Structure 1
Amino acid sequence: MKKRRIWFGLLAMTLMLSVLLGRLAWIQIIDSGSFSRREIDLIGNSVGQREQGIELDSGRGQFYDRNGLPITGETVRALVLFPVKRSAADKDGGMRQIARILGAEEKSWNDFYANANVPKMWTEPGTGLPIPLNADQARRIVQLAVPGAEVMETVRRYPANAAAKHAIGFIGQNPQRIESRFAKQLSRGSLSLTSRIGAAGLEKTMEPYLQGVGKTSVSLFTDGNNRPLSGLDVRLVSPGNPYYPLRVQTTLDLNVQRKVERILDQAGIASGAAVVLDAENADVLAMVSKPDFDPYRILPDNGDWGNKAIKAIAPGSVFKTAVAAAALEEGIVKPDETFECNGTFGKYGFTCWLHGGHGTITLEQAFAQSCNVVFAKVMQRLSGEKLQEIAHKLGLDRQVGWTEENSGGQAWSQLDGEERGQIFAGRLPSEDEGIRVQTAIGQRDVLVSPLQAANLVVTLLHGGEVFSPRIVRDVRYRSNTVAQSFPVHVLSSSQDGISSRTSHEIGKWMQEVVRTGTGKPLQQAKWKLAGKSGTAETTVGGRAAVHQWFVGYGPVERPQYAVAVVAENEPENGPNRSLAAFRDIMNALAAQ
């Protein structure tokens, strides 16, 4: 009887052990990700207890210039500190040596080191950006071989000397936009509500192409005593996808972009913009906006990050280009007709900028000298409706940046927030003479962006054909195979625009501006240039100020570039910063 009880006991224990082993097998192999009513992920948690990692690259796509040079995505070496068990010598000696190598302030280093109970990177205070190590610092830290102190390569999205900041834009958290615009990615788990997505510029418009398939991180595996596990140690975890992240190939020329940025700084343009277009197809080669901003420190109430190159402001006498084209198209002025300018118009308190007037001059001479009175008299003969029609044909009063309809029938533009500008308030032509006279000199309600102004020049050079400036040429896989291309667009053919005769005539008048008119200082430039100046009256903080403009092209013999420069809110009688910057930009392009 006793033997039978022992035998049944052993059998029961065997059965219980079998059930337990089976349950463990089920948990570990078959249903490891969902255990008990609390759905505890055993594998995930076990790995989390011994794997401690830090992100090195978000996996987001990067921007490149037309020549393949990177605009974003700077790879730097940085110190990564893992919380591992260290000897007293490592703590007192090795860590102090690392601090000296870094040139770290004692308090900052102590705060960093004492609180390193999770993997941490040595970063700039405030931004969390990795502090780059030079080659000597990296070598010396590696030689110390302090446990858990690793020199790793990481990616800073925006380089310290980042270019084209306003065109590229910046990223940030926007849970509402993720929910409304990227619901599918949110449900798949490729995005979370805290993900950083494009908030402005190309970062925003190209967001669907920039989203990656996973980050690259580094992990250190430790045992229960926080000591590195032999054989595992530091491991790099990467998606390993041969196609992602994608590469956004812009039309920007990084060399030209940097030169134009320096030139605007040297010219003392604190607020304004410059645009350089390829005269052949209106591709954006450089797009600069001032003031500058830090993409890592965005202040919502500070508009410095706004791209002034695509914002519309009063163009002043630059708009006389459209008035002159309308007058020629309508035939309301004879080629040899002369006008009288004695400095005043006689109505509305309207005067010419030149005290005493320009005397007897033709319309061509009035264009070169930028005579307000002559253009006011021309506008008396021209209807507001016809002026608006011609301006539209020239690419004004509408968005000109590269745009297409998406699958949902909505317009998608490469340029974030481009303003279309206007000719008359409410975009309804006015036949009131006083309004038309002010409109003739680019004041009153006229608004034009630097991009439109530069594109206007390209339109004239192409006989009235209006191009749609693009800033992105294509998107490529990691293998450099094209995933999506954006071909050159024409907004209006030459048949739908102004005549080639008028276009060429205005182009010649721009040459006269430099020969005998307001652009004479450009005669000393390396190239023979042509253009049109503009000065628009405005107010800043209750004081009178002006927007200084100069737009044009060069070289005259074989136009390669169309350029627009605006210096905003300058003193009324201050130096012409826009003209000086235009000259220096053209000289820099001539030296290419």
Structure 2
Amino acid sequence: MKPKLRIHHTAIFVMVGLIILVSRLAYIQLFATESFSKHHVNLIEESVQQRTQGIVLDNGRGRFVDRNGDPLYNDYYPSLILFPFLKQMEWPVDEVARIIGTRKSYLEETVQLAEGPVVLGGDQPLRLSETQMNELNDLKVPGIIATYYETDNNSISAEHFIGIVRENEELLKERYEEKLEKGYISTRTPIGITGLQRAFDEFLVQEGEAKLLYHVDNQGQPLFGLNVKYTAPSNPFYPLVINTTLEKKVQDEAERLIDESGLKKGGLVLLDIQSRDVLAMVSRPHMDMGNPFQNDGGKNYMILPQVPGSIFKIVTATAAIENVDLRGRRFNCDLNLYGDKPASRLLGQLDFVDSFAQSCNNTFAELANEMISVNDNIIDEYAEKLGLTTPVGWNGEVFHYRSFSHFPEEVASIIWKDERDKGAERAIAQTAIGQKEVRISPLAVANMVATIADDGRVKQVRGVDKIIYKNGAVLFEFPKQTLADEKLSPYTISKLQQLLREVVESGTGKVFRTLPYTVAGKSGTAEIGSTGYENKWFVGYFPVERPRYALVVVNMQVNSWETQTNDVFADMVKIIHNLNNDL
């Protein structure tokens, strides 16, 4: 190639490259300044941030509190924020120290060590009163600002109940395509993945942080004077607060108790019988926040169906009370489940009440086969009357949601997987005592016993009481709702209450006779396939005279000799009694 031609081609190549580069720069400067690349980066904000120091007061996502308004994580209260440029000016350190009741030297040292804005108290900020906050702000000193600040206490009460928040661009686009297109949120906005965080995500999703900002030069000195700017989303009603039904003191004690007991898999549910509110819910294993779905730690086992074992005899007993003449009838409890071999516990001839109290398998296998020979749907019908055939969590209409659920991950109970089992005596026998394919969640079990204690009223279980605006006004209040229209007869309910009480008086729950509250309930031991492990349950309500609480504890996949279930149930009753006495 001739030299001139080569130079000519090179010049054209360079010119085309420059045109492309200039065009790209022009596009970025003129058209993509607020939404650059697939990540929708705001270049103006990024350039400002290079010359900005600041502190995030809250991340803009809604918060969760317990029934009394106490935070379940990340507390939010008035705090004192000091800016580093105070070290270059005279400021009323004596007056500030007097207002907040601390040492002058502590304030001076905090400012001298500050490289950016700092919250007084560090990881555990000093909690100010409203009066102190107003007095400090009345000083009108640049760099001294008292305001509400969200603390990260690295501790979450009811981690599975509350759930987790993560960045998930695909899921975010699916949920909030319009908000994303309008720039209200970015692809990096965290969203709720599990628990209440998932259920209430649309009410919680952040549309911007609240910050205190000031601009600095390349030496870190303030530009444009000493002005500190407050920035936050313009809507004064947000972020919202989700007022849950939990009682934080009870929840914290329940978590401590479960962990100290050594219970590795399982947990507990505590319900208020009248309102059917969740007062405490603990699921184990613990959730690893760094990798929440590792080793099933992200699952809330309290809302997932488990093998119930003899807990299910409550259903079989209910059907028998209403459909079988039990007067004077006795059952051979020296026989096993199928009536063809000796039982592992030789209990002799027992009537119906004692059969329930001693959890005699043969009695309920015999009764179930007898009833199903007349009506093969009878177990299903009474499971429905006790609220077991559908999810039990609150579900209803909330604004544009036709079917809003407090527990979107809850799975309904299973009674039969194969309808042909209703024609097989052994399958019926196993189903009658909560084995075979029977699966019920601990939440549904607790609600079933609460239904019996509440004279047969089948209600939905609430996890949240109301949604509250930032200013304290109520956005939405969740009404108490029934789960099934048909109630069991007063006689049946009275008989079931007697059966559950007899378990504690003379049966498998005698260990609970000395508790400070009188308890009625039912134990359950479920074989887990051929693993050799068992699920161990106890569910009950108390005090019997005026039922207030329904509690279920389950220890999953354990050896037959392990006793954490009974220990946790008994200690939990004692804790609630002590807390009530302290109020």
Kindly indicate whether residue 580 of structure 2 is the aligned counterpart of residue 580 of structure 1: no
**1:397–1:448: 8 Å Cα contact kept in structure 2?**
no
Summarize the alignment of residues 322-361 of structure 1 with structure 2, pairs less than 5 Å apart: 322-330=315-323, 332-345=324-337, 352-354=343-345, 357-361=346-350
**2:278–2:461: 8 Å Cα contact kept in structure 1?**
yes
Summarize the alignment of residues 64-213 of structure 1 with structure 2, pairs less than 5 Å apart: 64-75=65-76, 132=123, 155-156=150-151, 159-213=153-207
CA distance in 1, matches of 2:245, 2:206: 22
* SS of match in other structure, 1:162: coil
Residue 175 of structure 1: how far off its partner (Å): 1.2
**2:288–2:294: 8 Å Cα contact kept in structure 1?**
no
Residue 36 of structure 1: how far off its partner (Å): 7.1
CA distance in 1, matches of 2:207, 2:46: 23
What are the ranges of 5 or more consecutive residues in structure 2 without an aligned counterpart? 1-25, 35-42, 89-105, 128-142
* SS of match in other structure, 1:219: strand
**1:395–1:452: 8 Å Cα contact kept in structure 2?**
yes
Kindly indicate whether residue 213 of structure 2 is the aligned counterpart of residue 219 of structure 1: yes
Distance 1:300 1:82, change over 3 A: farther
| Amino acid of the structure 2 residue aligned with 1:570 | V
Distance 1:183 1:371, change over 3 A: same
**Which of 555, 559, 581 is the matching residue for 1:567?**
555
CA distance in 2, matches of 1:151, 1:264: 40
Find the counterpart in structure 1 of residue 309 from structure 2: 316
**1:272–1:568: 8 Å Cα contact kept in structure 2?**
yes
CA distance in 2, matches of 1:445, 1:43: 60
Residue 213 of structure 1: how far off its partner (Å): 4.2
| Amino acid of the structure 1 residue aligned with 2:499 | W
**Which of 519, 525, 531 is the matching residue for 1:529?**
519
Residue 343 of structure 1: how far off its partner (Å): 3.3
State, as a whole percentage, how many aligned pairs show the same letter. 33
| Amino acid of the structure 1 residue aligned with 2:566 | L
Kindly indicate whether residue 358 of structure 2 is the aligned counterpart of residue 369 of structure 1: yes
Residue 335 of structure 1: how far off its partner (Å): 2.7
> Alpha-carbon deviations, 1:106-160, whole Å to 9, x = none?
xxx9xxx9xx9xx7999xxxxxxx9715669xxxxxxxxxxx9999985345x33
Kindly indicate whether residue 478 of structure 2 is the aligned counterpart of residue 486 of structure 1: yes
**Which of 384, 387, 393 is the matching residue for 1:392?**
384
Residue 552 of structure 1: how far off its partner (Å): 0.7
- How many residues align? The count is 507
Find the counterpart in structure 2 of residue 26 from structure 1: none
TM-score (norm 1): 0.77
**2:311–2:524: 8 Å Cα contact kept in structure 1?**
yes
Residue 226 of structure 1: how far off its partner (Å): 4.4
Residue 379 of structure 1: how far off its partner (Å): 1.6
| Amino acid of the structure 2 residue aligned with 1:581 | V
CA distance in 1, matches of 2:33, 2:369: 81
Residue 560 of structure 1: how far off its partner (Å): 0.6
Kindly indicate whether residue 374 of structure 2 is the aligned counterpart of residue 379 of structure 1: no
CA distance in 2, matches of 1:39, 1:66: 46
Distance 1:49 1:450, change over 3 A: closer
* SS of match in other structure, 1:509: helix
Residue 236 of structure 1: how far off its partner (Å): 3.5
* SS of match in other structure, 1:492: coil
CA distance in 1, matches of 2:533, 2:238: 50
TM-score (norm 2): 0.78
The 10-residue stretch of structure 1 (375-384 or 416-425) with the greater mean CA deviation from structure 2: 375-384
Distance 1:408 1:351, change over 3 A: farther
**1:463–1:501: 8 Å Cα contact kept in structure 2?**
no
Q: Which runs of 4+ in 1 moved over 4 A?
A: 33-49, 75-83, 119-122, 133-136, 148-154, 405-410, 426-429
* SS of match in other structure, 1:67: coil
Kindly indicate whether residue 426 of structure 2 is the aligned counterpart of residue 430 of structure 1: no
* SS of match in other structure, 1:412: strand
**1:388–1:429: 8 Å Cα contact kept in structure 2?**
no
**Which of 444, 462, 466 is the matching residue for 2:454?**
462
Summarize the alignment of residues 270-285 of structure 1 with structure 2, pairs less than 5 Å apart: 270-285=264-279
Summarize the alignment of residues 234-245 of structure 1 with structure 2, pairs less than 5 Å apart: 234-239=228-233, 241-245=235-239
* SS of match in other structure, 1:430: helix
CA distance in 1, matches of 2:295, 2:73: 23
CA distance in 2, matches of 1:471, 1:560: 17
* SS of match in other structure, 1:448: coil
CA distance in 1, matches of 2:490, 2:561: 38
Distance 1:228 1:459, change over 3 A: same
**2:62–2:240: 8 Å Cα contact kept in structure 1?**
yes
Residue 39 of structure 1: how far off its partner (Å): 6.1
**2:160–2:299: 8 Å Cα contact kept in structure 1?**
yes
* SS of match in other structure, 2:551: strand
CA distance in 2, matches of 1:191, 1:243: 17
**2:338–2:429: 8 Å Cα contact kept in structure 1?**
no
Find the counterpart in structure 2 of residue 446 from structure 1: 438
Residue 416 of structure 1: how far off its partner (Å): 3.0
The 10-residue stretch of structure 1 (403-412 or 208-217) with the greater mean CA deviation from structure 2: 403-412
Kindly indicate whether residue 461 of structure 2 is the aligned counterpart of residue 474 of structure 1: no
> Alpha-carbon deviations, 1:553-582, whole Å to 9, x = none?
0111111101111011111223x2212211
CA distance in 1, matches of 2:258, 2:326: 40
